[in-house]
Amino acid sequence: MKEKLRLAFIGAGHLAHHLAPAFENAGHKVLAVNSRSTTSAQGLLNRLYEAEICDLDFHGLDLDMIFLTVPDDQIASISQLIDKQAILVHCSGAKPLSAIQNGHEQAGVFYPIQTFRKDKKLTFEHIPIGVEGTKPAIQKTLLQMARVLSKQAFVLNSNDRAKLHMAAVFASNFTNHMFTIAADIMNESKLDFSLLAPLLEETVHKAVKLGPHQAITGPAVRGDLRTLDFHHELLASHKNRQAIYRFLSQEILDYYADDQ
C-alpha cells in the first residue's frame, strides 16, 4: 500500500469534520466528499485543500480508500451502492466489520474513541484509535494511518470494539444525562450548575487515576440509608428521577456490599 493515500468521505458530520483534515495534515489527499446535506459537504470542503463534492460513483477518481462516516444504520445500505475498487472503511464502534456489504473483500474499521463536535477544536494525539481489516495488509495500513495521528493506536476486533463502545455509552452518554438531571435540579433551585464543576473534575480525575471502584464516594457506598431515604423523599414530585435514584442507589449498595 502506498504511503500517501487518495481518500474520499461519505458523510460530512462531526467526525468527518475533524478526521478528513487530520488525514490531509498527515500527508494524505482527500479528493471527494459525498453527503446528503450540501451545506455539511460544503462546510467540510472549506476545511480541505482540493476536494470536491461527488456522487457515490466517484466518477473519474482513482481512490485508495473511502471512509463511511455516516450513522450506524446507514453503513450497510450505503456500502451496497459502492462499486468503486477502493477499500471501504467505516468508523462505528457498535457495528462489526461485516456491516460493510456488497461482497467488499477490501474493508476495514477506523474507530476513534472520542465524542466529536464540529465546534470543538481537538487533536487526535491523545485519542485512542482501534482498527480492523479484512486482510492483514489493510489492517497494517489502517494501523499505520492511526499511529501517525495518535499515540494510542491498536488492532481491535469487532466483538471487543462493541464492548468498548458499550462501555463508552455508560461512561459518557449515561453520565452526561446524569449531568443533565443534576443541572435541572440545580436550576429549579436557581443554583448555578457551575458550582458542581470542581466536583465533576475531581470525580473524573480520581476515577482515571485510582480506578472507579476505588474512587467512588457517597451515601450509597457508605450504606447511609437515612440520606438515601431523605433524597428519595425530595424526589417525590419527579417519579422518573426518583426511580433512577432508587435503582442506581440499590445497584451501588449491592455492588459494594462485600466492601462494607
Distance CA 133, CA 30 (A): 21
Domain boundary among 91, 122, 156: 156
Cell of 126: 491523545
Contact between 105 and 47 (Cβ < 8 Å)? no
Got the DSSP string for the chain?
Answer: --SS-EEEEE--SHHHHHHHHHHHHTT-EEEEEE-S-HHHHHHHHTTSSS-EE--TT-TT---SEEEE-S-GGGHHHHHTT--SSSEEEE--SSS-GGGS-TT-SSEEEEEE-S---TTS---STTS-EEEEESSHHHHHHHHHHHHHH-S-EEE--HHHHHHHHHHHIIIIIIHHHHHHHHHHHHHHTT--GGGGHHHHHHHHHHHHHH-HHHH--SHHHHT-HHHHHHHHHHTTT-HHHHHHHHHHHHHHHHHTGGG-
Q: 118-173: per-residue pLDDT in tens? A: 999 899 999 999 999 999 999 999 999 999 999 999 999 999 999 999 999 999 99
Domain boundary among 107, 139, 156: 156
Pairing of strands 29-34, 6-10: parallel
The answer to whether residue 137 sits within a structural domain is: yes
Contact between 70 and 12 (Cβ < 8 Å)? no
* Per-residue tens of pLDDT for the chain, all 260 residues: 567 999 999 999 999 999 999 999 999 999 999 999 999 999 999 999 999 999 999 988 999 999 999 999 999 999 999 988 899 999 999 999 999 987 788 999 999 999 999 999 899 999 999 999 999 999 999 999 999 999 999 999 999 999 999 999 999 999 999 999 999 999 999 999 999 999 999 999 999 999 999 999 999 999 999 999 999 999 999 999 999 999 999 999 999 987 76
Q: Same structural domain for residues 125 and 86?
A: yes
| Chain center to CA of 256 | 30
Domain boundary among 108, 137, 156: 156
The answer to whether residue 15 sits within a structural domain is: yes
Q: Same structural domain for residues 42 and 149?
A: yes
Distance CA 196, CA 181 (A): 13
Cell of 238: 419527579
Q: Same structural domain for residues 109 and 211?
A: no
Give the amino acid at 36: R
The boundaries of the domain holding residue 84 are: 6-156
pTM: 0.92
Distance CA 129, CA 112 (A): 4
Radius of gyration of the chain (CA): 23
The answer to whether residue 1 sits within a structural domain is: no
Q: Same structural domain for residues 187 and 136?
A: no
Q: How many domains does the chain have?
A: 2
Distance CA 10, CA 30 (A): 11
Q: Check which CATH number belongs to the domain holding 15 and give it.
A: 3.40.50.720
Q: Check which CATH number belongs to the domain holding 219 and give it.
A: 1.10.1040.20
